[in-house]
Chains A and B, each alone.
Chain A
Amino acid sequence: MFWHSYKYSLKALLKNRMMVFWTVAFPFILALFFNMAFARLHDFDVFEPFDIAVVNDEEYKKDEIFDTAFKTLGEGDERLFNIELSDMEHAEELLNDGKIDGYVYAKGDKKEIKIKENGTNQTVLKMAVEQVSQSAKMIDDIALSEIAKNAGQMVDISAIYQNAVKIVSETEPNIKDESHVMNMVSVEFFSLIAMACMQGAMLSCEMMNRCMPNITNRGKRVAVAPTRKGVIVSSNLLAGYTLLFISLIALIFFTRYILGVEYGDNIPLICLLAALGSLTATMLGMFLSVILKTRESAKNVIVVLVTMVGSLFAGMFGGMKLFFDELLPFVNKISPVGLITDGYYSLYYYEDLTRFWINAGTLVLISAILFVLSIKSLRRQRYDSI
């Protein structure tokens, strides 16, 4: 029964032009547009450091470890940025005049950045500050625990800190070489893959509507059949997921090997994140379809809106990620699109995979929560009205 339902659901889905367009054709068309738009950028593969300022006031100077580590990113031929030390007023002036892409300042124990626009340079700056802050905190923690262990004894604090720096530099993720940081084209294509994953929400909402007697007539017919609701729902969702997953893998390979987009050397993990991202989107569509008590067309509009807003937050439309990271930091931590794009950035920027796995794990957790909530609601067998 499951495979019978799966076969026909997939068959019907493949002949649904609207669905095939949005889930399969649309991301490919966008990829081609992106490729045309970014064609000239391939000529600038050599990394160009960009200008930033650091507000070198007393508060900032307190955190020596951060200061030292961060400044190293602005030194040498392979530097990420050109750092200008300044006071807050001058940094603001430079930013307003467009002479720098952003500046770093200390606010209590934390390091903040101020930017005026959203773009790749700003993303790189934000990630660099986050990375260095994290490492600095770890160095501090290790050193302090070492000092505490030797309480009452004479200790060489400088040696302890040097040792802590060594430990952290060996274990902590590092920003990879600059050419990765530089690749703005990859960043845009990562957002495209994330958005393509989110089409799964629309797809699963459509597939769910087919199973629900209070939404479609086909749902009524299915509900009176002696087939368990779980079999019908899962076979329909799997059919939608199959189409989405195959189209995503095709998109990744098409953009990587036909359009030549640089995704780094971890294609299997890129595919895995796409699979998890589309799973989350599928569960999101299922959840919205189950909880929204409205007509089929209204449901579809709401699902599209939710995924589009998620895509906007995650930087799909003109690099707004940073803006929303600042404004609503929590949203991109739980938004599936935000988690997918962040997972890709971390896979691309860091050698260490911890952040990638955290994002992947969060996607699985969100999928599980949405699944449980949907099933709870779906277990209701009779309806008040149909």
Chain B
Amino acid sequence: MKNVIEVKHLTKSYKNNKAVDDLSFNVQEGEILGLLGPNGSGKSTTMNCILSLLNFQDGKIKIFGKEMAPDAYDIKSKIGVVFQDVAVFDELTVYGNIDYFCGLYIDDKKMRERYVDDALKLVGLEDNKSQYPKQLSGGLLRRLNIACGIAHKPSLIFLDEPTVAVDPQSRNNILEGIKKLRDDGATIVYTTHYMEEVEILCDRVIILDHGKIIASGTNDELKALAKIEEKVTVEVADLAPNQLSGFEKIKNVSEVEYDNGVLKISYSKGKNNLIDMIEYLKTNKINYKKIFAERPTLNDVFLELTGKDLRD
């Protein structure tokens, strides 16, 4: 597959603080690449450097095979950006906002009309097109923000935390919209600190911490980095110390935690440990209320690699 973005040894510092530290990665045509990391890990800075908004000390950035620069208008014309903060005119209607930003890319008025209508449809704002941003809920405003960034049908889209502080309905709408953009052929760079979104959306993930890549690969490749393969959680009211130590002796159990009536058992191997656990509880006459199994998440991977939680 063709590389749409090539980043080589990108380094960006603010005084003595390295926000992006010798970062190198590629984004392939048609994929959704997730840049995952906690706040301050350098996701937005990396994006702004790629977009030539920020100066950087070292590195090379190529987009569509050409070096990216502030005046690389041919490259810019194929890029759509949805910034983390809502960037619209309060004084223009929903339609006016989309038309204005689309007009910075598309001269042809008729084509623009069609594109604006398509964008309205994609984000589900057809019924709100005459409203002003102040009349929209937070979720609808985020959708407008997205529509303004992608109305011109770019082939490369940057989405910087587009679902922050969004209601579940709008979040679903946004995620569906992003999938549709990918299905229509766009390459997408998606920065977020919501691991669930990355798992749902992204073909490939780069995990950042302190401006460095600490892991990259597909969801499965990354999860393989975690030392656990499955987690079983059991709600148990009372547990004697000898009963607790008994869990540690079960095959493939790597870790046991018991806190406030919740027992968490991590397995280093195996994918169907739930049935064995139910059997164990029955045999040892341990009463439980709820029991469920989970596969490791990217948060577990992050925890494994950095010793801290993604949302810390």
Contact = CB atoms under 8 A, between A and B. Distances in A.
A149 interface: no
Interface residue tally on B, bucketed by range: 20 to 34
A131 interface: no
Contacts of A217: 83, 85-87
B83 A11 contact: no
Choose among B77, B79, B87 the residue with the greatest number of A CB atoms under 10 Å from its CB.
Answer: B87
Contacts of A376: none
Interface string A1-33: 100110010011111100000000000000000
A383 B55 contact: yes
B247 interface: no
A4 B103 contact: yes
Nearest to A216: B87
A221 B92 contact: no
Interface string B71-82: 101101101010
B107 interface: yes
B104 A227 contact: yes
A119 interface: no
A224 B83 CA distance: 11
A225 B54 contact: no
Interface in B57-111: 69-71, 73-74, 76-77, 79, 81, 83, 85-89, 91-92, 96, 99-101, 103-105, 107
B53 A221 contact: no
A221 B149 contact: yes
B70 A382 contact: yes
B218 interface: no
Contacts of B53: 213, 220, 223-224, 382-383, 386
Nearest to A384: B55
B26 interface: no
A384 B54 contact: yes
Contact of A15 (B54, B74, B91): B91
Interface in B129-149: 148-149
B284 to A, nearest CB: 59
Contacts of A166: none
Contacts of A11: 91-92, 96
A314 to B, nearest CB: 32
Contacts of A220: 53, 81, 83, 87
Interface in B249-286: none
A221 B89 contact: no
Given A224-B53, A381-B70, A382-B55, A12 B91 contact: yes
A153 interface: no
A15 B79 CA distance: 30
A224 B76 contact: yes
Contacts of A385: 14, 54
A218 interface: yes
B159 to A, nearest CB: 13
Contacts of A386: 48, 53-54
Given A224-B53, A225-B105, A385-B54, A8 B100 contact: yes
Contacts of B99: 8
Choose among B55, B99, B101, B104 the residue with the greatest number of A CB atoms under 10 Å from its CB.
Answer: B104
Contacts of B101: 221, 225
Nearest to A12: B91
B7 interface: no
Contact of A224 (B81, B92, B107): B81
B103 A381 contact: no
Contacts of B88: 218
A216 B90 CA distance: 13
B291 interface: no
B232 interface: no
Contact of B96 (A1, A8, A222, A228): A8
A152 interface: no
A226 interface: yes
Contacts of A216: 87
Interface in B29-68: 48, 51-55
Given A8-B96, A8-B100, A224 B51 contact: yes
Contacts of A224: 51, 53, 76, 79, 81
A224 B156 CA distance: 12
Given A4-B103, A382-B55, 20 more contacts: A4-B107, A11-B92, A12-B91, A13-B91, A15-B91, A15-B92, A217-B87, A218-B88, A218-B89, A220-B81, A221-B81, A221-B148, A223-B53, A224-B51, A224-B81, A225-B104, A228-B71, A381-B52, A382-B52, A385-B14
25 contacts: A1-B104, A4-B104, A5-B104, A8-B89, A8-B99, A8-B100, A11-B92, A13-B91, A14-B91, A16-B91, A216-B87, A217-B87, A220-B87, A221-B81, A221-B83, A221-B148, A222-B104, A224-B76, A225-B76, A226-B77, A381-B69, A381-B71, A382-B70, A384-B14, A384-B55
